Amino acid sequence: MKTPNASLLSLTISLLFLISWATSAHTHENFLQCLSLQFPNSNSISKVIYTRYNSSYESVLVSAIRLEQFFPPAKVPRPLVIVTPLLESHIQAAINCSKQHGMQLRVRSGGHDYEGLSYVSYQQAPFVMLDLVNFQSITIDVENSTAWVQAGATIGQLYYTIAKKSPTLGFSAGVCPTVGVGGHFSGGGYGMMSRNYGIAADNIIDARLIDVNGRILDRKSMGEDLFWAIRGGGATSFGVVIAWHIKLLPVPETVTVFTVNRTLEQNATKIVHRWQSIAEKIDEKLLLRLFLTRANSSQHGKETVQASFVTLYLGGVDTLLPLMQQSFPELGLVRSDCIEMSWIESILYFSGYSGEPLEILLNRTSSSYTTYFKGKSDYVTEPISETGLESIWKRVLEYPEEVTEMELSPYGGRLSEVSATATPFPHRAGTLYIIHYGVVWNEAGENALNRNRRAIRRFYRFMTPYVTKNPRSAYLNYRDLDIGVNNKGNTSYEQASIWGLKYYGINFERLVHVKTRVDPGNFFRNEQSIPPL
């Protein structure tokens, strides 16, 4: 290795923006040397460092890429160096050395970021990707109903491990088993039990985090402000989460699931209209998620809109049926629609793996049916009128390319009992539901990418009258670089407050204050990180 270049060591952050690929090669040599110097008596770290000269660089890089548009040969900026730490001290060293040598750091847990920000950086500085794939351990404490889960574990691994220890404990987090707990919990974490138990972040009781100074902190040593910030504010602005300590949640031995489909010809408009006001108020053990898609109407032989009500009830069918009859008779639920099962089987059901062995939840690449995808989100606080719904159906049928799927997930219950400032996640009382829009395509290349991005943006503009305003709120975990981002890494306060208010509402200011205290030099940053003052 070359000797460190003293002038490089003193480069300022602003100069770094001007670094070319040629000089960044020096930077990364210096970075690598710094790493090896931190482990003088052992070569353990060299086994977990990948540069482009290592033949396995690409396989490590793509191992947790979920969206087709970020796979090679797509021209997106790649990490100069990948580190897959085995020890906490490897993470400390990666932070210390990145800081010293002007490298940016990206952290990847499950790799499900909608914009790939855990392994792509559009900011003009060379970057290191820290892949937490070796931090997957999960320790369940049944007696105390708690667990420690390392950041690189997936929610599927967590659900599986809990269920193996107890048939009556579970956790409240997302549906897709390959999502990583590192990003997911720190950005919120909504799932089929959220009306009963809130988001994942609501059930975190402690955490281990490495800060910008390379210090390992827990809840006590980081303080309540920082502990607050990483539960919904996106930990990526504040440090590297190594593990979460979570409260496990009671689940009944038998739960009930159903999927009921209704097309426009089957009164979907009236039923969806009604759903908007009941889904948020109904018994909190009941979560009726709603998928809207185009479909062919069997009776009428023409295209229609289909509403699929995909539901979890934390109880048996005998209590569910009278409850539905009383609160939502319009849906016309009958006993034969319902399936009783264990909570862990419901995890398979909602992720499309019914009938598979439970071990599929341990497979980190099981949803490797990756597609090209762009997602966006909106919140709704006032029911959309029947006329409004009809305009939406018309748009969906006339411009099928604009939105492939809409998923409406009800709030209320526990979600609205938690105050809007208890965590940085502000979408609490008053929120009826969230809309997730997705456009999926199969054609490779920039043209298709740009065409589809433009299409979903048009649909998003079309939806303006029906959703929240000032701010038009959005869910951090459905990250969307369309909202107020300047790819030059301009995270000025003015710029950041555009998306900051959408994601965090009144909590944005407090996040900025925490950031200013714990990382005033803005080392932990990405295109949508919290700026220091």
Ligand X SMILES: *[C@@H]1O[C@H](CO)[C@@H](O)[C@H](O)[C@H]1NC(C)=O
User: Which residues are the active-site residues?
Assistant: 478
Q: Which of the choices ligand X, ligand FAD, none does residue 184 contact, using the CB cut-off of 5 to 8 A by kind? A: ligand FAD
Is there binding between residue 108 and ligand FAD (CB under 6 A)?
A: yes
Q: Which of the choices ligand X, ligand FAD, none does residue 46 contact, using the CB cut-off of 5 to 8 A by kind? A: ligand X
Reference 294, options 452, 403, 441; nearest CA is 403
Binds ligand FAD by CB under 6 A, chosen from 82, 149, 179, 403: 179
Binds ligand X by CB under 6 A, chosen from 294, 510, 513, 517: 294
Q: Which of the choices ligand FAD, ligand X, none does residue 374 contact, using the CB cut-off of 5 to 8 A by kind? A: none
User: HSE (CB half, 13 Å, CA atoms) of 374?
Assistant: 22
Binds ligand X by CB under 6 A, chosen from 40, 41, 75, 143: 143
- Return the axis-axis angle of helices 155-165 and 343-350, rounded to nearest 10°: 160
Determine the interface stretch with ligand FAD among 44-52, 179-187, 221-229, 442-450 (rule: CB under 6 A): 179-187
For ligand FAD, give the closer residue by CB, 48 or 151: 151
Task: Give the strands of the sheet with 372-380, arranged side by side.
Answer: 338-341, 255-263, 303-313, 286-296, 405-410, 433-441, 372-380
Helix (H) or strand (E) holding 377: strand 372-380
Q: Give the number of other CB atoms < 10 A from CB of residue 33.
A: 16
- How many residues of this chain interact with ligand FAD, rule: CB under 6 A? 34
Reference 250, options 339, 166, 348; nearest CA is 166
Binds ligand X by CB under 6 A, chosen from 23, 38, 327, 516: 38
Reference 219, options 239, 202, 244; nearest CA is 244
β-strand partners of 141? 146
- Answer for the pair 203, 491: CB distance below 8 angstroms, yes or no: no
Is there binding between residue 153 and ligand FAD (CB under 6 A)?
A: no
DSSP assignments along 49-75, one per residue: EEETTSTTHHHHHHTT--SGGGSTTS-
Q: Which of the choices ligand X, ligand FAD, none does residue 494 contact, using the CB cut-off of 5 to 8 A by kind? A: ligand X
Q: Tell me, residue by residue from 460 to 499, as one string, x for binding to ligand X by CB under 6 A and - for no binding.
A: --------------------------x---x-x-xx----
Is there binding between residue 190 and ligand FAD (CB under 6 A)?
A: yes
Distance, CA of 505 to CA of 509 (rounded, Å): 9
- Answer for the pair 189, 172: CB distance below 8 angstroms, yes or no: yes
- Distance (Å) of CA 205 to CA 116, 148, 164, 224, 228: 28, 10, 22, 11, 10
For ligand X, give the closer residue by CB, 3 or 144: 144
The token pair that represents 446 in the structure block: 């920039």
Binds ligand X by CB under 6 A, chosen from 33, 100, 134, 308: 308
- Answer for the pair 454, 378: CB distance below 8 angstroms, yes or no: no
Contacting ligand X within 44-83 (CB under 6 A)? 46-47, 49-50, 53-54
Is there binding between residue 236 and ligand FAD (CB under 6 A)?
A: yes
Determine the interface stretch with ligand FAD among 164-172, 214-222, 232-240, 261-269 (rule: CB under 6 A): 232-240
- Answer for the pair 85, 48: CB distance below 8 angstroms, yes or no: yes
Contacting ligand X within 344-383 (CB under 6 A)? 363, 365-366, 368
Footprint on this chain of ligand X (rule: CB under 6 A):
38, 46-47, 49-50, 53-54, 89, 92-93, 96, 141, 143-144, 213-215, 259, 261, 266-267, 294-296, 303, 308, 363, 365-366, 368, 486, 490, 492, 494-495
Footprint on this chain of ligand FAD (rule: CB under 6 A):
66, 106-114, 117-118, 132, 151, 174-176, 179-180, 182-184, 186-191, 235-236, 240-241, 477, 526
